Amino acid sequence: MKTTMSHSPLDIQPEVAQALASHAPVVALESTIISHGMPYPQNVQTALRVEAEVRAHGAIPATIAVLNGRLKAGLSAAEIETLGQAGPRVTKASRRDLPILLANGGTGATTVAGTMVIAALAGIRVFATGGIGGVHRGAAATMDISADLPELAHTPVAVVCAGAKSILDLALTLEYLETHGVPVLGYRTDAFPAFLTRDSGLPVDTRCETPEQVAAILRARWALGHGGVVVANPTPEAWAMARAVVDAATEEALAAVKAQGVTGKAVTPFLLAWLNQSTGGDSLAANIALVLNNAALAAQVAVALTRVA
């Protein structure tokens, strides 16, 4: 049985609710990676490994989704399996999709933005994902900007990620975050990572060497008001891919997007699938490694956040 908040569409899994009530560390996890980010069964296996990684570093995992018109902070293994088997048939749910799913009793796998909304409602302040969305190339003409960015501007959740995907305009993504006052912290790096590669050639706002340093900045950020923070955590060196290889595959993928007329929410899953195929599966292996790495750091930050005075 789930714990349901009175007059609220939010269900908080009992273990997560108990952790929050006792001010224990909790880490939110997205579900789009389950339904749209990886093929079955790797998606379910990875989701369960990510939850285990959070636990191994001292925090409670809360995988987030929308199920049958209810916002869920914390999923069972069976619910993760259901999302994984359904795959892309599940709605990819950002902020704008949540009220529609709630009203229609729908099911959705939450993006970074959608996860941040539900995490904040539940009182979860730290969230681990793969990479954030950003400003798409050609956005000056298309206005294609991920909803993740405005969410980061006003929702008080720290997002631990491997930067943003190289398929995006990373310079404009960082410019957007700067304009909207979102700090970008580099964890043991001075360079903003580009998802599969460790260095985009662009700088972060400041470098942090320990989870405690990150937690101190988060406390200060939220003492000044609302808003998120990007904690950029490079892909482990053993799994990182060469920038030239990723850039070449990205250009091919972007050309395919244009040729096939792929638009909207379908763009990112298409590009990730293309990259995985063109790199012989290397990008999927790197994706799994970086998500596990981010989960470990997010748990350490969540633990440190409970200790910072």
Give residue 183's pLDDT. Answer: 98
Is 204:243 a contact under the CB 8 Å cutoff?
A: no
Q: 274: pLDDT confidence band, cut at 50, 70 and 90?
A: confident
Active site residues: 30, 165
pLDDT, tens digit, for every residue of 165-223? 888 999 999 999 999 999 999 999 999 999 999 999 999 999 999 999 999 999 999 99
pLDDT, tens digit, for every residue of 30-59? 999 999 988 899 999 999 999 999 999 999
Cα angle 133-234-236, degrees, rounded to a multiple of 5: 130
pLDDT, tens digit, for every residue of 217-260? 999 999 999 899 999 999 999 999 888 888 888 888 888 888 98
pLDDT, tens digit, for every residue of 69-86? 999 999 999 999 999 999
Could you tell me which residues come within 8 angstroms of residue 34 by beta carbon, excluding any fewer than 6 positions away? 43, 44, 46, 47, 63, 80, 83, 84, 109
pLDDT, tens digit, for every residue of 83-105? 999 999 999 999 999 999 999 99
Q: What is the mean pLDDT of residues 150-155?
A: 98
pLDDT of 116 above 70: yes
Residues found in the chain: 309
Question: Global pTM?
Answer: 0.92
Q: CB atoms < 10 A from the CB of 41, how many?
A: 11
pLDDT, tens digit, for every residue of 7-35? 799 999 999 999 999 999 999 999 999 99
Give residue 308's pLDDT. Answer: 61
Is 230:218 a contact under the CB 8 Å cutoff?
A: no
Q: Which domains does the chain have, with CATH numbers?
A: 3-239+285-307 (3.40.1790.10)
DSSP per-residue codes, the chain: --EE-TT-SEEE-HHHHHHHHTT--EEEE-SHIIIIIS-TTHHHHHHHHHHHHHHHTT-EEEEEEEETTEEEES--HHHHHHHHHHGGGSEEE-GGGHHHHHHHT--EEE-HHHHHHHHHHHT--EEE-S-B--BBTTHHHH--B-THHHHHHHS--EEEESBB-TTB-HHHHHHHHHHTT--EEEES-SB--BTTBS--S-B-SEEE-SHHHHHHHHHHHHHS-S--EEEE-PPPTTT---HHHHHHHHHHHHHHHHHHT--GGGHHHHHHHHHHHHTTTHHHHHHHHHHHHHHHHHHHHHHHHHH--
